[in-house]
Amino acid sequence: MKHAYLYSLFGAALGAALCLPATARAAEPIKIGVIAEAAALGGSAIPNAAKLAAEEINAAGGVNGRMIEIVEYDDHSSASDAVRAFQRAANQDKVHAVIASYISEVVLALEPWAGRLKLPLITPGAASDLITKRVHDDYNNLKYVFHGYLASTQISDAVCESGKDLLIGQMKAKTAVVVSEDAAWTIPLDEEYLKCLPKIGVKVLDHIRLSPDTTDFTPIFNKIEGIKPDVMVTGISHVGAQPTVQWQQQQVPIPMFGVSSQATTSTFWKDTNGAAEGVVFNMFSAPDVAVTPKTIPFARAYEKKYGVTPAYSGYTAYDDVYMFADAIKRGGSSEPDKLVDAMEKTDWVGTIGRIQFLGKDDQFTHGMKIGPGFITGLMVQWQSGKQVTVWPAEAASGQMKFPSFIKTVN
Amino acid sequence: MRTARLLPVALVVLLVMALLPFGVGGYVLGLLTLAYYYGVFAMAWDLLFGFAGEVNFGPSFLVGLGAYAAALLNHYYSWPIWACLVAGSAAAVVGGVVLAVPALRLHGPYFGLVTLVAVLLLQNVIVLFAGVTGGEIGLDIPDVLSISDRVNYWYALGFMVISGAVLFGLARSPVGLILQASGQDAVEASALGFNVAKHKLAAFCISAFFSGLAGAMLIFYLGTASVGTVVDIGVGVQVIIAAVLGGRRTILGGAIGAIFLIVAGEMLRDLGQLSTFVVSAIALVVILFFPGGLLGSLLRTEGRQ
Amino acid sequence: MVGLQILIDGFAISSLYALGAIGFTLIFGVSGVLNLSHGSIMVAAAITAWLAAGDYGAGSLGGALAGVAASVVLSFATYLLVVRPIQSSRAIPGEEKEIFVLTGTLLWGIMLQEAMAYFFTNSPKTVRPLIAGVVNIMGVRTPANEIVTAVLSWVAIGLLWLLVNRTRAGKALLAASINPRGLTLLGFELANIHLLVWAIYGVLAGIAGVLLGSFLGVSSDNVGTLTASAFSIVVLGGLGSVSGSLLAAYVVGYLETMTAYLVSPSIRTVPVLLLLVLVIYLRPQGLLGRR
C-alpha cells in the first residue's frame, strides 16, 4: 500500500512534468546557433558574449517562460565549414536563429542558405555592404538575413566624421594614404574613404591594398613614407597585429588612424608587446564609455567571466541575443517568418546604441540605422596599455597623444 | 579471390547507403554528400600515387580548375549545369596535361614540389584577378544541383559509385598493372616494352578528369566557389590524408578515408577547436601502426583467414 | 635610397630564410626526410619565447633560450615519435617510406598547429626584440632588431660550419649526408648521427623561429607558408646541399623583397614560384645540387 502511495505520488509528479510543456508548449527552449572561429580573437568573443546574454535572460526567467540555449559551432573561419554548421543548425539541432561570424566571406556564403533553409541569421561583425545589398535586391528570399554590424560604407563615414575633429582639428592633417587589406569588407570601405576624406578636407595621396597574407610590411611602410602623408587611414582586420608591430619597430613617423579590428581586443597590447601605443581606431562601444547604460555593465561582466574585455564582435553578439529574445517576446513566436517580422520592428537599446533595422526600400535593407540618437561610433586610442576613448568629446576619457617617433604637426 | 568475397559485402553496404535518406536526418546527409565528393578526390589521387607512384601534392589544383571553370561559366554566361560540368572537367584535364607533360620527367620531391607550386600559383591568380574570380570572397553560383538534401545525396552517392567503379576497374585492368609496375620500377617496366610516360600521362588525365568533375559538382552543391573550399592547400592535405588513411593502392580506400575523416570530425564536434587535433592524431596513429590504412588492414585480415 | 633599402631588408629576411632552410636540408641530406612539421616547430619556438618573456618574466634573452629549448624538444619528438617509427617499420615498403614520412610529419605539424591555436589563439604574437630602437644606415632607418636578426643568423650559421668542419661528430655528419652506407661500414653508429642532426635542426629552427617572431611576428596560421618556403628554398638550392640552400635563401629573399618594393607587395611570392618551376624543369638538381 505504501508503495502504491509512492507510485501515485511519482505518477503525479511525472504527470505534472509532462503537462508542463503542454501548458503552452512554450517551455521548449529557444535555441540560438552561434557559428564562429574559436581560435580567433574576434571569433571567440561571439559565443562568449552570446552565452553571457543567454545566462542573464535565463536568470531573469527566460522569454515567455522559455529558456535560451546557445548551440556553438566552430567554423575555423572557412566558408564550407560554416555552411555545414549552418545546415546542421537548421536540420539537426533545429535552432530558431543563428548568429554567425565576423568575416564577410563566411557570411556571404551563408546568406543564400539562410534563404533556402528559412532560418533567421544575423552577423555581429562582418561588414561588407554586399550583405545588406543582397537582402535589398532579393528581399523575398533573403529577408531572413540581418546585419548586426555596420556596413563598411557606414564605418568609413563614422571614421570621416571623427576626422573632422581629430584629423583636421587636432592633428592638422591635410593629406592621407589609405591602407587596407585586400578583402571583401574593405572594397566598399575604401571606396567611401576615397569619397569622404576629401569632403572633410583631407587629400588622399595614394590608396594601397595589401594582401591578407602579407607578413613583412616594411616595403609598404617604406613606400608610404616616400609619399609623405600626414596620416595613414587604415582598414585592417585579418592581417592582424603584424603591421602595428612593424610600424612601431621601424618607427614609421606617420600615425595610424581608422579601422583596426584586432586593436579592439584587450589582448592586443600583450600580443604586440605594447607596440599598439598610439594607434587610433574606430569602435562602436568601448569598455570605458557609457555609450548606453548597458555598455559598461556588459564589459565588466564579460571581463569578470572571461578575463579579457570583449572584442568588438562581443558587444554586438550580446545585443543580437537580446534582440532575438525581444523579437520572440513581442511576436510571440519563434517561427521564422514571424521572427523576421518582429525583428524588423526592433527598437532596442543595446550596448552599442539604439538599434533599429532599415526597411526593404533602404539601400542597406536589414542594416542598422546610424546617426545621432542611434549608433554613432567612437574613436579609441591605445595609451600605456589602456584603450582610451578620444572621440566624441562628450564620451572622451582622454586626449590623443602619440609616441615620440610620430611626427605630428602639433 | 579476396575481391570476390568482398563483393556481397560491398553490395549490402551500397544498398544501405542508397536507402540512408529514408532513415537519417538532412544534416547527416549533407555531411555524407560532402564526404562523397572528397571520396572522389581521394580516389582520383590514389590512381596517381598508388598506381603511378607519383606523389601529387596539388590535388586541389585539378579540383580548383574544374570548380572555377564551371563557376565562372555559370556565373557570367549562365551556362546550364551539365555544360559547366563538362567544361569544368575538360579544363581540369587540359590543366593536368599542361602540368604533367613536363612534370612527369621529374620524380619524388621534385614532382611533389611542382604540383604544390601549381596550387600556390592558381591561388595567386584567383586572388590577383579578384575582379573576375571574386578573389577571397569567392564566387556565388546562381544554379544549384538541388536544394533537397536527399537529391543532393543521391547525386553525390551515384557519382562516387560510378567514379569508384571506373577507377577501380581501371586499376585492376592491364593498364593499371602496367602503371603499378612502372610506379615501382620504371626502368624495368620500360625494358619490358611499355611506354611508361604515356601510361602515366593517361593516369594523370583520368585523375584530372574525375578531380575536376567532382570539384565542379561540389560547387554546384555548395552554391559558392571559393579558394578555401576547392583550391587551398588545406583541401589537398585533406585529400592526401584521406587516401593514405583509407589505404593507398586500393582506390576504394580513398572513399572510406574521406568518409571517416568527415564523420570523425563531426562526431568530435563537441571538442570544438580540438576536433582537428584529435582527427589528425588518429590519422597519425593509423599510418604509424596500420600503414595499410583502414581498407588495407581489412583486406589483409580477410586474406589471412 | 630604395636600392639600399632593398639591400638591407633583403639581407635580414634572406638570413632568416637561410637559417630556417639549413636545418631542413641537413636532415634531408642525412636521412632523406622532408620534415613537413617545420613551420609548426618554428612557430612553437616563437610562441614559447613570447610566453616565457611576457607571462613568466624571463626577459628577452631568457625567452629566446626557452624558445630554442622548446624547438629542440619538439625536434626530438618529431624524430622519435613520427619519423623513426616509420623508418623502422617493416610493414611499410621502402619505396613508400617517403610519402609516409611526408604524411606523418604533416599530420604531426597540424596537431602542433591546432594545439597552439587552441591555447594561444591564432592571432600573431611578437617576441620582444633583444635590442629595441632604430639605427640610421646611410639614410635608411633600420630597426636595431633587424641588424640583430641578420647578425645572429650568421653567427649560428658560422657555428654550424665550425661544428661540421672542425669536430669529429660534425665530420661524421657531413660524411653521412654524402654516403650514409659508407659511414656505417666505417663503424659509426648511424643512429647517433641521426640524433645529432635532429638536435642541430632543432637549434637552428628554434633560433629562426624566435628571430622571425621578433622581426615580423608569427601566428599559428603562418605554419603552412613557413614550411612551403623552406621546402622551396631547399629544392631550389639542391636537396641536401647546405651551400645551395644558403644561396637559394638569398635568391628567394632578394627576389621577394625586390618584387615587394619595385612591383607590388601583393604579388611578393609569385616570381619566386615561377623561378622555382623554371629551375626544377631546367635543372632539377637545383642550383648547387649534385646528382
Query: Does the pLDDT of residue B66 top 90, yes or no?
Result: yes
Q: Tell if the CB–CB gap between A182 and B272 is shorter than 8 Å.
A: no
- Which residues in chain A touch residue C134, judged by CB atoms under 8 angstroms apart? 249-251
Q: Which residue has the cell 609616441?
A: A403
- Lowest-pLDDT choice from A33-47, B12-26, B238-252, B260-274: B260-274
Nearest Cα to C84, choosing from C110, C60, C104, C113? C104
Question: Helix or strand or coil: residue A209?
Answer: strand
Cα–Cα–Cα angle for C16, C19, C20, rounded to 5 degrees: 85
Chain C residues with CB-CB distance to B49 below 8 A? 99
Nearest CA in chain C to A238: C123
What is the distance between the alpha carbons of residues C55 and A213, in angstroms, rounded to a whole number? 28
Name the H helices within B192-292. 196-222, 227-230, 233-246, 252-267, 274-289
Q: Provide the pairing of β-strand C134-137 with C140-143.
A: antiparallel
Are the beta carbons of C284 and B106 separated by less than 8 Å? yes
Instruction: Give the dihedral of Cα atoms A89, A90, A92, A96; nearest 10 deg.
Output: 80
- A156 closest CA partner among A188, A198, A124, A108: A188
**Predicted pLDDT of residue A164:** 92
Query: How far apart are alpha carbons A63 and A57 in whole angstroms?
Result: 7
Q: How many CB pairs (< 8 A) connect A and B?
A: 78
Total beta-carbon pairs less than 8 A apart between chain A and chain C: 90
All three cell numbers of B242: 584521406
CA-based nearest residue in chain A for residue C257 = A219
Cα–Cα dist A400/A339, whole Å: 44
- Residue window 92-121, chain C: list those with CB within 8 Å of chain A: 117-118, 121
Say whether pLDDT at A244 is over 50: yes
pLDDT greater than 90 at residue A178: yes
Q: Considering only residues 107 to 136 of chain B, which have any Cβ-Cβ distance to chain C shorter than 8 Å?
A: 108-110, 112-114, 116-117, 120-121, 124, 127-128
Q: Test B269 with A182 for CB contact under 8 angstroms.
A: no
Q: Which residues, 6 or more positions from A118, have their beta carbon under 8 angstroms from its beta carbon?
A: A144, A336, A337
- Average pLDDT of the residues of chain A: 87
Residues of B with CB under 8 A from a CB of A: 25-28, 30-31, 34, 127, 130, 135-138, 140, 147, 149, 222-224, 226, 228-229, 269, 272-273, 275-276
Contact C121 A209 (CB under 8 A): no
Question: CB of C32 within 8 Å of any CB in chain A?
Answer: no
**One-letter identity of residue A12:** A
Cα B13 from Cα B31, distance rounded (Å)? 18
CATH numeric code, C2-282:
1.10.3470
Residue (of A395, A393, A404, A397) closest to A170 by Cα position: A393
List pLDDT tens digits, range C67-96: 999 999 999 999 999 999 998 888 887 777
Crossing angle (nearest 10°) for helices C223-237 and C2-31: 80
Distance CA C68, CA C205 (A): 8
Q: Where are the domains of chain C?
A: 2-282
Q: What's the ipTM? A: 0.85
Secondary structure (3-state) at A69: strand
Domains present along chain B, CATH in parentheses: 2-304 (1.10.3470)
Counts for chain C of helices (H) and strands (E), in that order = 12, 2
List beta partners, residue A176: A204, A231
Mind listing the pLDDT tens digit for each residue in C103-148? 899 899 999 998 998 888 877 888 888 887 888 888 788 888 889 9
Angle between helices C2-31 and C190-215 (to 10 degrees): 160
Q: Give the three-class secondary structure for C159.
A: helix
Which whole-number Å values give the CA distances from B292 to A202, C27, C88, in the listed order? 66, 26, 15
Q: Is pLDDT at A378 greater than 80 in this prediction?
A: yes
How many Å separate Cα A379 from the centre of its chain? 15
Q: Report residue A193 as a C-alpha cell.
A: 574613404
Is B136 close to A182, i.e. CB distance below 8 A? yes
Reported as half-sphere exposure (CB side, CA atoms, 13 A), residue C238 has a value of: 14
- Closest residue to C143, CB basis, from A39, A249, A271: A249
Q: Do B140 and A91 touch (CB under 8 A)?
A: no
pLDDT of residue B304: 41
Contact B203, B51 (CB under 8 A): yes
Domains of chain A: 30-150+292-355 (3.40.50.2300), 153-283+377-391 (3.40.50.2300)
Start-end of H helices in A290-394: 295-306, 312-331, 336-344
The closest alpha carbon to C18, from C109, C113, C150, belongs to C150
Nine-digit cell string for C216: 615580423
Of B27, B226, B273, Cβ closest to residue A87: B27
For A152, half-sphere exposure in the C-beta direction (CA atoms, 13 angstrom radius) is 28
Q: Which of B136, B229, B276 sits opposite A212 (nearest CB)?
A: B136
- Tell me whether residues B31 and A184 touch, CB distance under 8 A: no
If pLDDT is split at 50, 70 and 90, which confidence band does A258 have?
very high
Question: Would you state the pLDDT for residue C79?
Answer: 95
